[in-house]
Amino acid sequence: SSVLTQPPSVSVAPGQTATITCGGIDIDLKSVQWYQQRPGQAPVLVVFEDSARPSGIPERISGSKSGNTATLTINRVAAGDEADYYCQIWDSADFVVFGGGTRLTVL
Amino acid sequence: VQLVESGGGLVKPGGSLRLSCATSGFTFSDYHMSWIRQSPGKGLEWLSYISGSSKADYADSVRGRFTISRDNAKNSLYLQMNSLRVEDTAVYYCAKDYYFASGSFPTDWGQGTLVTVST
């Protein structure tokens, strides 16, 4: 059974860079997705297969992975980036597994 | 791609509810579909998926109580929920999945429908 660990919260000033991590055993062997969920809205896929962006997602949002940690990076953070962010993997035993989520606060 | 859930509401513990998800904008029968829920103030919890040919599986938390199904002719996804518990209170999302060799993940989500289980 896979567990994905995210920090509960990250705070960053406007214009700065936010980094949100997602740790898990064997994550280096799995495809990692990231979802953005703004308050009162449904989640939106922002990164898939570790680092690919769906159409319409700005280049300042990027994903990467090293060892057992995946990272979502948001450059030039703006008020509209304030949201909850969830990482996700597929696990053969548990199927779709989500991290606990990270609340990004723009100061 | 449009996904529109319906069927949520207030139900007593032990009761049943059937959620529907009407879809458009893609060839429904070609895609895996999932149900995912979010309890108030909590994170995302995957519940179930179904393939285009109706192969399905479930999270342990709902296996034996919930049943996922689809009608490819109607481009619709369903979730039959029986023996509901207070802890099933959540917003329920349907999602269109991308299926690849190593698994699948949701790519598009509906706006959700609220299910409240309470006396």
Which residue of chain A is at minimal alpha-carbon distance from B34? A96
pLDDT grade, residue B75 (50/70/90)?
very high
% of residues, chain B, pLDDT over 90: 95
Model confidence pLDDT, tens digit, residues A70-107: 999 999 999 999 999 999 999 888 789 999 999 999 99
- Whether residue B96 contacts residue B105, with contact meaning beta carbons closer than 8 Å, is answered with no
- Specify the pLDDT at position A91: 86
Q: Averaged over B56-72, what is the pLDDT?
A: 97
Edge-to-edge strands, sheet with A61-66: A18-23, A69-74, A61-66
- Looking at the predicted structure, is the pLDDT value of residue A1 above 70? no
Contact A98 B43 (CB under 8 A): yes
Q: Averaged over B72-83, what is the pLDDT?
A: 98
At B107, the amino acid letter reads T
Contact B102 A30 (CB under 8 A): yes
- Specify the pLDDT at position A53: 98
- Mutation choice for B interface testing from A6, A29, A96 by most B CBs within 10 A: A96
- Specify the pLDDT at position A92: 82
- Looking at the predicted structure, is the pLDDT value of residue A26 above 90? no
